[in-house]
Amino acid sequence: MSEQLSKNFKKSEFKCNDGSNVPDDLMDNLKDLVDNLQIIRDTIDKPIRIISGYRSPKYNRKIDGARRSQHLKAKAADIVIRGMSPVEVHRAVLRLIKESKIKKGGVGLYKYFVHYDVRGFNARWRGKGVKDYKP
């Protein structure tokens, strides 16, 4: 598969932070994720930085990630968008899901980033230290 996965996303952006590549058998999952991230990117019209994409099982254990994390399946990305707070990104992602423009999935709000995944059903949470707000 080519390095370029969509107009604005490359395979290398989703590499595990331990340096391991997305396994070939998970590339369909990654493509699904990228297709949805591209819609977010096109709608917001700002670059999206992937701070965590695929996670190898070893790396996920090392960082004490969720045992069944969608990152392990290459179905999740933790994202930041310059010029937008995590709350603003969170609201935008929720709106696009509600409008059926992107796939239902997990959306987690953290202090410095937003988690989005394409699990196919809605899941919502806030990370530690995130104050309550109305999405």
Q: Is residue 120 situated within a structural domain?
A: yes
- The pTM of the full predicted model, rounded to 2 decimals, is 0.94
How many other C-beta atoms are found inside a 10 Å radius of the C-beta of residue 116?
Answer: 28
Q: Is residue 6 situated within a structural domain?
A: no
Q: Is residue 104 situated within a structural domain?
A: yes
Q: Is residue 23 situated within a structural domain?
A: yes
SS3 98: helix
Where are any strands of DSSP class E within 26-127?
49-52, 76-80, 106-109, 114-117, 123-126
Give residue 64's domain range: 11-126
Q: How many domains does the chain have?
A: 1
Task: Give the pLDDT confidence of 93-125 residue by residue, as tens digits.
Answer: 999 999 999 999 999 999 999 999 999 999 999
